Structure 1
Amino acid sequence: MKNLWNSIVNSIKGIKSWSDFATKANLTIEVIRRIVLYIIAGLFVMLSLAIGLGFGYVSALTNQVEVPNKQEMRSQLKDVNNSTSLYFANDEKVEDLQKTLVGNRVQLSQMSPYLKKAIVATEDSDFYKHSGVEPKSVFRAVLSDVTGIGAQTGGSTLTQQTVKMQLLSSETTWKRKAVEIFLAMRVDKYFSKDEILEDYLNAVTLGKNNKGQNIQGVQAAAKGLFGKNAADLNLAESAFIAGLPQSPSVYTPYDNHGKIMSDTSLGMKRKNVVLYRMLRDKKITQSEYDEAKSYDLKNDLLKPVKAPTHKIKYGYVYNLLTQQAQTIIVKRLAKNDGIAYKDLKKDKNLYNKYALQADTELHNKNYRIDSTIDKSLYRQMNAQVQSFQDNLGTTHSGSGVDPATGKTVKVSEPVQNGSVLLDNKTGQVLAFVGGVNFKKSQLNHAFSTNRSPGSSIKPLITFAPAIENGLIGSQTQLADFKTKFAKYAPTDYGETIQNRFISARETLEESYNIPSVNLYNYIRQQGVSSKKYMSKMGIHLTDSEYNQLGITLGGTDQGVTVLEQASAFSTFANKGQHVNPYVVSKITDPTGKVLYQHKHTKKKVFSKQTSYIIQNMLHGVVTKGTASALSYESNFSTKNLFGKTGTSNNYRDNWFLGSTDGVTLASWIGYDNFYHDNFNLSSNSTDINQELWSRMANAVYKENPGVMNVHKKFNRPDGVQSYKVDKETGTNTGTIEYNGMTSKVNQHTTQSLYYKGSPKNLTYDNFAIGGKAKNYKLFWNNYFGRDNGYGVVKRLNGSSKSASEIASENGSGRTSGFSNSANDSDSSDVTTTTGSTTTGGSRNSNNSTTANGNSETGTGSGAGAGAGTGSGSSVGGGSSTGETGGAGGGTTGETGGATGGGAAGGGILGGE
Structure 2
Amino acid sequence: MNENNLFNRIKRFFNSPFSQTGKSIFNISYTVIQRLILIGTLGLVLLGVCGLGIGLGYFANIISHTDIPSETSLKTSLGQLNQASSLYYQNGELISEVQSDLTRKIVSSEDISDYVKKGIIATEDSYFYEHNGIVPKAVLRATLQEVSGASSQTGGSTLTQQLVKQQLLTNELTFTRKAKEILLAMRVEKYFSKDEILTAYLNVSPFGRNSDGQNIAGIETAAEGIFGKSAKDLTLAQAAFLVGLPQSPYVYTPYTNAGTKKEDFSYGIQKMKIVLDAMKRQGYISEQDYQEAYNYDISQDFIERTNKQRPAQTYLYQRIHKEAIEILMQQQVEKEGRSWETISSSVDLYNEYYFRAADTLASSGYKIYSTIDKDIYNAMQTAISNSAVKLGPTYETPYTNPETNETTTVNEPPQLGSVAIENKTGKILGFIGGTDFNTSQIDHAFATRRSPGSTIKPLLVYAPAIENNLIYPATMLADTQISRLQQDGTYWTPLNASGSVSNQFISARQALKQSLNNPTIHLYGSMLARGIQTNTYMNAMGITAIPANEYANEAASVGGFSTGPTVLEQTSAFTTFANNGEYVPAYMIERIEDREGNVVYEHQSTKNRVFTEDTAYLMRSMLTDSINGGTTQYFKQYLNFSFPEAYGKTGTSDFYLDMWAIISTPQITIGQWAGWDNNHGVKHVFPIDNAYGNVSVRTQQVWADIANAMRAAKPEYFDTSQRFSPAPPSITQQAVLASTGTLEGSIAAPDGSQHPVSGEKVVDLFSKSRPPFPISYYFSPGASDKDLTDFWNKLINGDKEKEEKEKEEKEKKEKEEREKAEKEKHQDEESTDSSTSLENWRDFLSRYTFRSTSN
The TM-score normalised by the length of structure 1 is: 0.67
- Is the CA contact (8 Å cut-off) linking 1:326 and 1:362 kept in structure 2? yes
Shift of 1:452: 1.5
Q: Which residue of 2 aligns with 1:712?
A: 723
- 1:203 maps to a residue whose letter is V
1:868-901 CA distance string (max 9 Å, x none): xxxxxxxxxxxxxxxxxxxxxxxxxxxxxxxxxx
Report which of the two has the higher share of helix. 2
Greater mean alpha carbon deviation, residues 180-189 or residues 768-777? 180-189
Matched, 1:646 2:647: no
Q: Which residue of 1 aligns with 2:3?
A: none
Q: Which residue of 2 aligns with 1:14?
A: none
Matched, 1:688 2:698: yes
1:78-105 CA distance string (max 9 Å, x none): x88x744433223344344456416685
Q: Which consecutive residues of structure 2, in runs of 5 or more, have no partner in the other structure?
A: 1-46, 144-150, 487-491, 689-693, 807-855
Matched, 1:669 2:674: yes
Map 1:65-144 → 2, pairs under 5 A: 67=73, 76=79, 83-97=84-98, 100-101=102-103, 105=107, 117=119, 127-128=128-129, 130-132=131-133
- 1:188 maps to a residue whose letter is E
- 1:305 maps to a residue whose letter is R
Shift of 1:207: 2.2
Q: Which residue of 2 aligns with 1:761?
A: 774
Q: Which residue of 1 aligns with 2:820?
A: none
Q: Which residue of 1 aligns with 2:510?
A: 506
1:93/1:44 Cα in 2 relative to 1: closer, same or farther (>3 Å)?
Answer: closer
Q: Which residue of 1 aligns with 2:784?
A: 772
1:644/1:254 Cα in 2 relative to 1: closer, same or farther (>3 Å)?
Answer: same
1:125/1:548 Cα in 2 relative to 1: closer, same or farther (>3 Å)?
Answer: farther
Matched, 1:527 2:531: yes
1:797-843 CA distance string (max 9 Å, x none): xxxxxxxxxxxxxxxxxxxxxxxxxxxxxxxxxxxxxx99954669x
Shift of 1:492: 1.8
Describe the SS at the equivalent of 2:307: coil
- Is the CA contact (8 Å cut-off) linking 2:118 and 2:284 kept in structure 1? no
Greater mean alpha carbon deviation, residues 497-506 or residues 223-232? 223-232
- Is the CA contact (8 Å cut-off) linking 1:259 and 1:303 kept in structure 2? no
Q: 1:616 aligns with which of 621, 624, 639?
A: 621
1:471/1:106 Cα in 2 relative to 1: closer, same or farther (>3 Å)?
Answer: closer
Shift of 1:574: 0.3
Q: 2:65 aligns with which of 50, 54, 58?
A: 54
Query: 2 CA distance for matches of 1:409 and 1:209?
Result: 39
Q: Which residue of 2 aligns with 1:387?
A: 386
Map 1:34-49 → 2, pairs under 5 A: none
Q: 2:737 aligns with which of 726, 730, 742?
A: 726
Shift of 1:577: 0.9
Shift of 1:533: 1.6
Query: 1 CA distance for matches of 2:370 and 2:142?
Result: 41
Q: Which residue of 2 aligns with 1:796?
A: none
Q: 1:536 aligns with which of 521, 535, 540?
A: 540
Shift of 1:784: 5.7
Q: 2:520 aligns with which of 516, 526, 530?
A: 516
Map 1:192-211 → 2, pairs under 5 A: 192-211=193-212
Query: 1 CA distance for matches of 2:413 and 2:304?
Result: 39
Query: 2 CA distance for matches of 1:600 and 1:141?
Result: 57
1:766-805 CA distance string (max 9 Å, x none): 221222232223323444677xxxxxxxxxxxxxxxxxxx
Describe the SS at the equivalent of 2:430: strand
1:252/1:759 Cα in 2 relative to 1: closer, same or farther (>3 Å)?
Answer: same
1:268/1:173 Cα in 2 relative to 1: closer, same or farther (>3 Å)?
Answer: closer
Aligned length: 729
Shift of 1:362: 4.3
Shift of 1:140: 14
- Is the CA contact (8 Å cut-off) linking 2:119 and 2:239 kept in structure 1? no
Query: 2 CA distance for matches of 1:329 and 1:651?
Result: 40
Shift of 1:535: 1.3
- Is the CA contact (8 Å cut-off) linking 1:785 and 1:841 kept in structure 2? no
Shift of 1:216: 2.2
Shift of 1:699: 3.9
Query: 1 CA distance for matches of 2:345 and 2:142?
Result: 30
Map 1:435-474 → 2, pairs under 5 A: 435-474=434-473
Shift of 1:355: 4.3
Describe the SS at the equivalent of 2:792: helix
Describe the SS at the equivalent of 2:575: helix
Describe the SS at the equivalent of 2:451: coil
- Is the CA contact (8 Å cut-off) linking 1:480 and 1:514 kept in structure 2? yes
Shift of 1:334: 4.9
Describe the SS at the equivalent of 1:586: strand
Query: 2 CA distance for matches of 1:456 and 1:138?
Result: 72
Shift of 1:638: 4.1
Q: Which residue of 2 aligns with 1:889?
A: none
Describe the SS at the equivalent of 1:256: coil
Describe the SS at the equivalent of 2:656: coil
Q: Which residue of 2 aligns with 1:492?
A: 496
Query: 2 CA distance for matches of 1:438 and 1:169?
Result: 41
1:182/1:591 Cα in 2 relative to 1: closer, same or farther (>3 Å)?
Answer: farther
Describe the SS at the equivalent of 1:86: strand
1:120/1:723 Cα in 2 relative to 1: closer, same or farther (>3 Å)?
Answer: farther
1:327/1:785 Cα in 2 relative to 1: closer, same or farther (>3 Å)?
Answer: same
Query: 1 CA distance for matches of 2:613 and 2:787?
Result: 35
1:232/1:358 Cα in 2 relative to 1: closer, same or farther (>3 Å)?
Answer: same
Query: 1 CA distance for matches of 2:770 and 2:458?
Result: 19
Describe the SS at the equivalent of 1:730: coil
1:311/1:224 Cα in 2 relative to 1: closer, same or farther (>3 Å)?
Answer: closer
Shift of 1:184: 6.2
1:168/1:628 Cα in 2 relative to 1: closer, same or farther (>3 Å)?
Answer: farther
- Is the CA contact (8 Å cut-off) linking 1:83 and 1:364 kept in structure 2? yes
Describe the SS at the equivalent of 1:551: helix
1:328-366 CA distance string (max 9 Å, x none): 334445555555544544565665565455445545554
- Is the CA contact (8 Å cut-off) linking 1:170 and 1:357 kept in structure 2? no
Shift of 1:546: 1.8
Query: 1 CA distance for matches of 2:429 and 2:133?
Result: 49
Query: 1 CA distance for matches of 2:630 and 2:782?
Result: 23
Matched, 1:748 2:766: no
Query: 2 CA distance for matches of 1:155 and 1:529?
Result: 70
Shift of 1:552: 1.8
Query: 2 CA distance for matches of 1:178 and 1:95?
Result: 42
Q: Which residue of 2 aligns with 1:908?
A: none
Q: Which residue of 2 aligns with 1:821?
A: none
- 1:547 maps to a residue whose letter is A
Query: 2 CA distance for matches of 1:154 and 1:409?
Result: 59
1:513/1:178 Cα in 2 relative to 1: closer, same or farther (>3 Å)?
Answer: farther
- Is the CA contact (8 Å cut-off) linking 2:371 and 2:429 kept in structure 1? yes
- 1:686 maps to a residue whose letter is S
Query: 2 CA distance for matches of 1:649 and 1:297?
Result: 72
Describe the SS at the equivalent of 1:495: coil
Q: Which residue of 2 aligns with 1:856?
A: none
Query: 2 CA distance for matches of 1:475 and 1:168?
Result: 70
- 1:688 maps to a residue whose letter is R
- 2:574 maps to a residue whose letter is F
- Is the CA contact (8 Å cut-off) linking 1:736 and 1:762 kept in structure 2? yes
1:170/1:680 Cα in 2 relative to 1: closer, same or farther (>3 Å)?
Answer: farther
Q: Which consecutive residues of structure 1, in runs of 5 or more, have no partner in the other structure?
A: 1-35, 143-149, 787-834, 843-912
Query: 2 CA distance for matches of 1:603 and 1:177?
Result: 54
1:478-501 CA distance string (max 9 Å, x none): 222222233133222143233222
1:840/1:45 Cα in 2 relative to 1: closer, same or farther (>3 Å)?
Answer: farther
Describe the SS at the equivalent of 1:447: coil
Query: 2 CA distance for matches of 1:470 and 1:255?
Result: 72
Query: 1 CA distance for matches of 2:200 and 2:639?
Result: 59
Q: Which residue of 2 aligns with 1:809?
A: none
